Structure 1
Amino acid sequence: MASPAQESTLVGLCDGEIDPRRHRCSFLTNKVGGLPDWPPHVCPPPPRCARCGAPLTHVVQVYCPLGGSPYHRNLHLFACPRAACSGRADGWKVLRSQSLEEAPSRPDPAQEAPRPATDWCDSADDWGVEEEEEGWGAGGGVEEAAAPQTHEDPLDLEVSRLQDLCLAPPPRPEAPPSQPEAPVLRAYFVCVVEESDLCGEEDADLRRAQRLLREYEKREGGVTTAGDAQDGGEEKYEKTRARHGDAVFSGFMKRISLCPQQVLRYCRGGQPLCVSSPPGAAPPPCPSCGGGRTFELQLMPALVALLRWTDGGGGEAEPEFGTVLVYTCQSSCWAGSVLEEFCSVQNDPDQQLFN
């Protein structure tokens, strides 16, 4: 999910569940749930809830390099698995990681090509067998004195000696993989499309009519409806409040009605789509460079329906929210370690509409 050169909104959609037996993910994968895939040479400690100290569950991984930057760039969002924390900003954490694109390695010209399998027995010098045989003693050694007088093939005798050699210590049995501390959510791929591509050209007139209606409602300060003709056929208009009494939520619903199943929205440097009153204060500055932060992405209500624990999960309740707004360092500074960014959580005033 590369950052667009201009202010255009990218929309993330669920693109099927990830089967670990068939699919292999990396830091280049956009996904929901599962375990985080960190870039090379990046391995931060598991994050913990700032409110209760519990290990956080991985919710979303987004690959979002910036245009003209030599860095790979990822955002990982985590949430507390405890019900009392999932709807609070201090129960969430956003980590940004970056890594330089590595140039493809070139083979060392001084390194010889590996010998074909048919040449392994042509010369025992490559395996150190000649020196070993001299140590045993030629003509009257212990091995020759104890050897029975048989008509074995000399090649078979040489193979039996090679079987006694130990070129490397036996491999240690691999330890079973450690279990994650936090419960794990079921993993899904996320595909990315431009919001403008969600409608065809045939819907252009409809979009224009909706835009004119929104402008009219904004100018008039409410929603106008035509009443019955009364008092000599004169039309009667009345102003009604938006559904749920919340004009912001009504605008939110209208905007996502084009694609209600979207699970995230990405528009670095754009404006967030708020489900309730926008945050009054600006996000705090970047703790690393002191610069300002800018809006980058948000999680959408449709994502809540996908957040389900894997078998034997153990979390109290899956995370619930209206939208999670993510703000990141405007200059995307990088000092070689994972940086925590800022997020704001808005609760959904009517969650059942998205189920």
Structure 2
Amino acid sequence: MAAVRKPVLLGLRDAAVQGCPKGPAAWTASKLGGVPDALPAVTAPGPRCGGCAEPLALVVQVYCPLEGSPFHRLLHVFACARPGCGGGGSGTRSWKVFRSQCLQVPEKETLNAQDSAPAVAHPVPSGEGLAVHAEVPQFQPYYICVAEEEDYGNSVDLEHARSLLQDYQQREGVDMEHLLSLCSYSDGDEKYEKTNIKSGDQTFYKFMKRIAACQEQILRYSWSGEPLFLVCPTSEVSEIPACSGCGGQRTFEFQLMPALVSMLSSANLGLAVEFGTILVYTCEQSCWPPNQQTPMEEFCIIQEDPDEFLFK
């Protein structure tokens, strides 16, 4: 019996963020670019690059409380936007992921706490340092809206996939018509599994086929689901480090997609990040110690795009 695939939510770029939202309107929003918003009583992360020591730019902020959990939950992904530093060559030194949580309380209680709370600065994470916003490289901020992948299942436009595969065939000598004929089959179909595509090419083709229905997706979210690999996974995927907080296992949560690269624009010339896909793994228990006031660092894997120009 085939395994049941966990549902996948797709993140799509929405309207531009106007002004500087504050409070719950800010930290309950998912967005790309801008500056990180902080949950109540938790410091906003302000990491620096492990390669060049410069402040990292916010790539995405994802508001993602878990079902049945009493916590608000916010994930931030950062990357180095300096030329030559943000790619896979620098590995995880130039990419950082942080998880912040706080208990959900009634709105009235929150307002009362804010009214009575003294105006004190939040503690700064050791070794991190919070850079002044003006010094931190910023991409233009846009909200991220969410759609269910299955809603696109019956509306696949294969024209883009056909164009990509034509280029692919010219370079690799692969039978394009045979590949396209397989697009109507599910991933587990034997006809797909028995194609004589090279293993690396098969992974790349599977990736292209899966995203063909929604080419503009910038994020795929599937808590404890299966990542969509762009290239054959290495041993790194089987060696995900344990959570630094509780020592438990980490699980896949979401990944950033190639379409996001061209959407990360900035008024500052020369800022850019390049990647194929970024796989984000977080604590399976989503642990959060009492009175924790600083974000907890999570783990990501960078897969470089073997055919970067295809996604421009």
Please give the TM-score of this superposition, normalised by the length of structure 1.
Answer: 0.66
3-state DSSP of counterpart to 1:349: coil
Q: CA RMSD in A?
A: 2.8
1:209 offset after TM fit, Å?
3.5
Question: Per-residue displacement from partner, 1:22-58 (whole Å, max 9, x unpaired)?
Answer: x665110011001111111112451111222111001
**Higher radius of gyration, 1 or 2:** 1
CA distance in 1, matches of 2:299, 2:187: 35
Work out the CA distance in 2 between the residues paired with 1:212 and 1:179: 45
1:211 aligns with 2:186: yes
Aligned to 2:66: 66
SS at match of 1:86: coil
Measured in 1, the distance between the counterparts of 2:183 and 2:108 equals 53
Alignment: residue pair count:
256
> 1:39 and 1:202, CA in 2 relative to 1: closer, same or farther beyond 3 A?
closer
Q: In the TM superposition, what whole-angstrom CA distance separates every residue of 1:292-350 from its partner, at most 9, and x where no partner exists? A: 000000000000010111x3x25x43111000000000000002131000001011011
Provide the rounded CA distance (Å) in 2 between the counterparts of 1:208 and 1:279: 26
Mapping of residues 329-344 of structure 1, within 5 Å: 329-335=283-289, 336=292, 337-344=294-301
Unaligned runs of 5+ in 1: 1-5, 109-177, 224-240
Q: 1:291 aligns to what?
A: 248
Between the aligned partners of 1:260 and 1:75, the Cα distance in structure 2 is 24
Aligned to 2:231: 276
Q: 2:104 aligns with which of 93, 101, 105?
A: 101
Deviation at 1:200, TM superposition (A): 3.8
After superposition, residues 1-355 of structure 1 pair within 5 angstroms as: 7-20=6-19, 25-44=25-44, 46-87=46-87, 88-105=91-108, 179-200=133-154, 209-211=184-186, 214-219=189-194, 221-222=195-196, 246-280=201-235, 281-309=238-266, 311=267, 313=268, 316-335=270-289, 336=292, 337-355=294-312
TM-score where L is the length of structure 2: 0.75
Do 2:36 and 2:44's aligned partners in 1 also have CA atoms closer than 8 Å? no
| CA separation of 1:297 and 1:338: change in aligned 2, threshold 3 A | same
In structure 1, distance between residues paired with 2:133 and 2:187: 55
SS at match of 2:259: helix
Cα 1:218/1:104, change in 2 over 3 Å? closer
- 97-106 or 7-16, larger mean C-alpha shift: 97-106
Alpha-carbon offset, residue 201 of structure 1: 8.3
One-letter code of the match for 1:9? V
C-alpha deviation, 1:17, in angstroms? 1.9
Q: Which amino acid aligns with 1:267?
A: S
**2:81 alignment partner AA:** P
Give the direction of change, closer, same or farther, for the CA distance of 1:82–1:254 in structure 2 (3 Å limit).
Answer: same
Structure 1 residues 299-308 or 191-200, which shifts more? 191-200
Letter in 1 for 2:303: Q
Cα deviation per residue 1:237-293 (whole Å; 9 max; x = unaligned)? Answer: xxxx58xx6221111111111111100000011111011111323210001100000
- Could you list the per-position Cα deviations for residues 153-175 of structure 1 after superposition, in whole angstroms to 9, with x for gaps in the alignment? xxxxxxxxxxxxxxxxxxxxxxx
SS of residue paired to 1:278: coil
